[in-house]
Amino acid sequence: MAEEKKKVKAPKLADPVASSIDVASQEMIARSHELGVETIFDRALTMKPCAIGVQGTCCKNCSMGPCRLPLPKAGIEGEDTRKGLCGATANTIAARNFIRMIAGGAAAHSDHGRGVAEVFLAVAKKETDVYKIKDEEKLLAVAGHLGVATTVEVDGEELDRDIDEIALETAEVALNEWGKPEGELLYAKRAPKARYELWKKQGVIPRNIDREIVEIMHRTHMGVDQDYKNLIKQGTRAAIADGWGGSMLATDLQDILFGTPYPVQSEANLGVMKEDHVNLVIHGHEPILSEMIVAVAQKQEMIDYAKKKGAAGIQLSGICCTANEMLQRHGIPLCGTFLQQELAIITGACDAMVVDIQCIMQNIANVAACFHTKVITTHRIAQIEQDNVIHIEFDEHHAVEDAERIVKMAIDNFANRKAEVMIPQHKAPIVAGFGVESTEYHLGGSFRGTYYTLNDNIINGRIRGVAGVVGCNNARTKHNHDHITVVKELIKNDVLVLTTGCNAIACAMEGLLTPEAAAVHCGAGLAEVCETVGIPPVLHLGSCVDNSRILLAATEVVKAGGLGNDISEWPVAGSAPEWMSEKAISIGHYFVVSGVYTVVGVTFPTSGAPVFNNYICKEFEDIYGGMWDFEPDPVKHAHMMIAHIDKKRKELGIDKARERVMMDFASRQAL
Ligand code: BF8
């Protein structure tokens, strides 16, 4: 009998055009197929997600399970009798899983913050002189928020306190926020007074940052907390400890050490890589590493060394939030979003990809093995098992030496390029680097030096409201499609967008971060404001820990007056159209409990437990003034946010567009 040849199935390959709206990414996905290099876009076709996991009703917190409680196709009529072996209900399981996601996200942001606080302490103790205090004004402001005295009384006279003393005490008090034995999170009082009091009444003010995360792990252990309302209360404490604690401290201390961002020009997308330059791509989150690499790569001796090795210079660029950090303080171009990390290597021009922590896909090692690219891990807690990955542990005490070694390694690798270089010729100009301070400068009134002009334009209806649109890419959706659709729909309807993380990079690639974008994409009111003050309709506020800037900007709006007494009262909404990480859930939850109506796309991780789902997606509004919502269709998603904004305008009595009136001092005071 003739032996039948076994048919080998060809691997499924992603359709480039169906995978991304970005032409540069489409070209690189097609290129990966030509070269036989597998990427996340291909794997998303072959590996389907578990439907029960997506619904949040799979419990694997003990070895009697996993207990899987799928939602019946016909839904649940009458009593929900589903339970795990121990009797845990769908609500308990979904709430446990949800707050474990908050714990994961809060831990990631806050441990990042702790790393920065430790470097800040080393600087304050003068153990290192490579990092310095760049923004003394911000140090004094932060000292004030942490209760550190900035003046001292000498012979009845109030004198400025020594700046080194202030720095040391500020560093110590800041670090204490992670594990102090008693008291409450000091930054909780930075929220509007009404919000702080609401948290106090609800009993959700965090005690310290670490404790709330640890307590989630305890409560969700087999047989501990089995009341979804009590479980989510703990999730709320941990989320506040992230947004108003670990993340906010990370942002503040980074600004003190590396400088508070002010608007800068740059470019975005894979086309920022240069064929004749050494391309060093930095990926991850903590700017401690990237700050030093930026400094070293700009040294003349390094540029000369690169030239000696045949390159025209050194081109730095960034992926993920490290990209945002380097952009906002140094104007270093953005190479791409989370889903473009493999694609940057597939250009054949990436001489080194240097990574620190978070959002680093292990597959970059496999992709790099097909090229000459050196993948260099630098953080003690984030290493990769593949043999081709080099680990150079970065330490602030010998930061310059470490950075020099890394930059030299990239330069030495320039001559080893083997595949034909193909850099997509697509990039967009951008203006980034907005923050609480610069927004005050651009949109604040010279009259009061606050957010008054912003409030005034919200009240008169030129700006309908403000949206924070943030978060990841998700390989289960078309790359950047939902980000861009949501943002364009919002600005078309006069909603000013504040952005961070990968949404910010997506908007950058799409050309939405330029003042010129206002005339093309905005409604008449928003376009007029943007053109008058010269800002883009989408303001880039930084990395994901910098979502704390959105919280503080929202608080400044409340303080400026005329739009209620709390964040929940003014027309603001949040969104993460392509979320995927636990960090996004922690961010979403601190937005919600800070009073922001927040919509996510893709999937919702408690959909399999309707009662719990209804609690956080509906009943929460009565408790916190903010709630979760879910809509995968990006146009409907944006309109749900706009409907919320309109509801708030109506509640404030500003729902009818008013013409701008000249206001005298007395009328402003009345507001
Ligand atoms: O922290 S947006 S994919 S890069 S998790 Fe990661 Fe998500 Fe991007 Fe920044 Ni944030």
| 498 beta partners | 468, 539
Tell me which of 258, 288, 317 is where a domain ends.
Answer: 258
Mean pLDDT of 246-258: 98
The Cα 624–Cα 594 span in angstroms is 7
pLDDT digits (tens, 9 = 90+) for 599-625: 999 999 999 999 999 999 999 999 999
Residue 671 is predicted with a pLDDT of: 46
471 lines ligand 1 (CB under 6 A): yes
Please check whether residue 265 lies inside any domain of the structure. Answer: no
Strands 389-391 and 67-68, how do they pair? Answer: unpaired
Mean per-residue pLDDT, 406-428: 96
- Taking each helix axis from N to C end, the angle separating 90-124 and 582-593, rounded to the nearest 10 degrees, works out to 90
For residue 114, the domain's CATH number is 1.20.1270.30
Is it the case that residue 358 has pLDDT exceeding 80? yes
What is residue 190's DSSP assignment? G
pLDDT band for 452, please (50, 70, 90 cuts).
confident
- Tell me which H or E stretch contains 137: helix 136-145
Beta carbons within 10 angstroms of residue 205's beta carbon:
20
Q: Are residues 248 and 147 in the same domain?
A: yes
Average predicted confidence (pLDDT) for the chain: 95
Checking if the pLDDT of 445 tops 70, the result is no
Q: How far is the CA of 577 from the centre of ligand 1 (A)?
A: 12
- How far is it, in rounded angstroms, from Cα 671 to Cα 658? 15
Domain count, the chain: 3
- pLDDT tops 80 at residue 536: yes
Q: Are 439 and 470 in contact (CB under 8 A)?
A: no
Q: Is the CB of 544 under 6 A from ligand 1?
A: yes
Q: Whose CA is nearest to atom 4 of ligand 1?
A: 320
- Same domain, residue pair 611 and 642: yes
Give me the mean pLDDT over the 150-164 stretch. 94
CB neighbourhood size of 345 (10 A): 29
Q: What is the pLDDT of residues 82-138, one digit of tens each?
A: 999 999 999 999 999 999 999 999 999 999 999 999 999 999 999 988 999 999 999
> What is the pTM (predicted TM-score) of this model?
0.95
Query: 504 and 464 in one domain?
Result: yes
Supply the pLDDT for residue 665.
54
Question: Do both 180 and 229 map to the same domain?
Answer: yes
> How far is it, in rounded angstroms, from Cα 344 to Cα 351?
10
pLDDT value of residue 338? 98
Considering the domain architecture, whether residues 289 and 405 belong to the same structural domain is answered as: yes
For the CA of 503, the nearest atom of ligand 1: 2
pLDDT at position 79, please?
92
To the nearest whole percent, how much of the chain has pLDDT over 90?
91
Last residue of a domain, one of 234, 258, 282: 258
Which of 208, 238, 258 is the endpoint of a domain?
A: 258
The rounded Å distance from CA 496 to ligand 1 centre is 22
Q: Worst-scoring range by mean pLDDT, 37-46, 246-255, 392-401, 516-525?
A: 392-401
CA of 341 to the centre of ligand 1 (A): 12
Does residue 531 have a pLDDT over 80?
A: yes
DSSP assignment of 203-239 equals T---S-HHHHHHHHHHHTSTTS---HHHHHHHHHHHH
Give the pLDDT band (50/70/90) at residue 446: low
* 643-670 mean pLDDT: 74
Q: Are both 473 and 529 inside the same structural domain?
A: yes
Domain containing residue 251: 90-258
pLDDT recorded at residue 438? 82
Mutate which of 341, 544, 549, 580 for ligand 1 pocket (most atoms within 8 A of beta carbon):
544
Q: Are residues 177 and 250 in the same domain?
A: yes
Examine residue 263 and state whether it is found in any structural domain, yes or no.
Answer: no
Distance 499 CA to ligand 1 centre (A): 12
Instruction: Say which CATH number the domain at 573 has.
Output: 3.40.50.2030
**Strand-pair category, 350-355 with 314-319:** unpaired
Domain identity same for 345 and 372 = yes
Q: Which of 545, 517, 548, 546 is nearest to 531 (CA)?
A: 517
**602 and 498 inside one domain:** yes
Is 487 close to ligand 1, i.e. is its CB under 6 Å away?
no
Helix (H) / strand (E) containing 390? strand 389-391
Predicted confidence band at 313 (pLDDT cuts at 50, 70, 90)?
A: very high
Q: How far does the chain reach from its first CA to its final CA, in angstroms?
A: 93
pLDDT value at 5 more than 80 = no
Based on the fold, state whether residues 404 and 494 are members of the same structural domain.
Answer: no
- At residue 362, φ and ψ (nearest 5 deg) are -60, -25
- What is the Å distance from ligand 1's center to 104 Cα? 13
